[in-house]
Amino acid sequence: MRAVVTGGAGFIGSHLCERLLAAGHAVVCVDNFLTSSVKNVEHLTDHSRFRLECRDITQGLDVSGPVDAVFHLASPASPVDYLRLPLETMRVGSAGTWNALDLAATKDARFLLSSTSESYGDPQVHPQTESYWGHVNPVGPRSVYDEAKRFSEALTMAYRRHRGVDAKIVRIFNTFGPRMRPDDGRVIPTFIRQALAGAPITVTGDGSQTRSLCYVDDLVDGLTRMLDSDHGGPVNLGNPHEVSVLELARWIIELTGSSSEITLIPRPEDDPERRRPDITAAGELLGWKPTTPVEQGLRDTITDFRSRLNLVDRAKLVHQPATPAPGVVAVS
């Protein structure tokens, strides 16, 4: 098959592109590099079945030739990014999703929306099932991401019901692994970066809030299984292994052998108290469940961070936005 992956140079998108190529498919990776990096896919640019296009999908998405599948992953995804880019986040969740769905409709392609556990907001039901409608503050600072994704879900279902697009929705819970940006603001890259630098580990609140952590290889397996299924979703994809943020900080200190100490700082507004997916539907419909132990995933992620971070100059752990490399097709 020939697949289009929007946001394909991002953390999850780059791993999905790799998986699709390994399975023998052709991939058109579309990204504007607003929060991603060309370095994530530069090892793929010489592949005969890989095409990288620098494009803002909110301005349109026209891909020449046949398209069998559209994986829509494009969006700022970390709080640091979507709070810095609120209008861009809402635009890609609305106009970007619309254009991606139009491409799928025009090409008679399957469509997969990567939605998020943020659709549940700060949930009052635990664990979260797909039938739960959520507890979202529509005017809070996080709403630019939460509501953009909720709109994307509604639009996807409208295209499925009224235009006959074979459209599917997955809700992705906390995912981690190699290629995460050290400064992206999410809990695992933040803690690993701080631990490797010997800096204080900044835990928000008292650290009792929980997260459920899924390794990226398992998540990508769930995405491909969902695309190949006959189910529209939404389907939760995540690891039910729940851990408190304070426990996670201690765990990362131990795995890195760091001398860092834990410092408590104020919690962000609307920060979810508990997060754990009910993955019964994924098991029954897709035959899917995560198989990578969280500790093994953390070890692999720490190894990746050690190889990328300049630990000699620890004060300069600042992300520099990537520019398209040679071979990237720039599309106006």
Among all residues, which ones are annotated catalytic?
A: 145
- Lookup result for tokens 């609305």: 94
User: 134 burial class (0-12, 13-18, 19+ CB within 10 angstroms)?
Assistant: middle
**Pairing relationship of beta strands 242-244 and 210-212 according to DSSP bridges:** antiparallel
- The candidate with the shortest Cα–Cα distance to 317, out of 211, 190, 204, is 190
Contact 213, 174 (CB under 8 A): yes
Both tokens assigned to 188: 């695992």
With residues binned 3-state (H G I as helix, E B as strand, rest as coil), the percentages for the chain, rounded to 5, are 40, 20, 40
- The candidate with the shortest Cα–Cα distance to 329, out of 17, 113, 3, 9, is 9
For residue 243, give the DSSP letter.
Answer: E
- Lookup result for tokens 């409208």: 158
DSSP string for residues in 105-126:
HHHT-EEEEEEEGGGGBS-SSS
Q: Which residues pair with 330 in a beta bridge?
A: 54
DSSP string for residues in 133-198:
--B--TTSTTHHHHHHHHHHHHHHHHHHHHS---EEEEEE--EE-TT--TTS--HHHHHHHHHHHT
The residues near 111 (Cβ < 8 Å, ≥ 6 apart) are: 69, 70, 72, 100, 101, 104, 156, 159, 165, 166, 167, 168
The residues near 119 (Cβ < 8 Å, ≥ 6 apart) are: 134, 136, 146, 149, 150, 153, 171, 234
Determine the Cα–Cα distance for residues 182 and 191; give it in Å rounded to an integer.
9
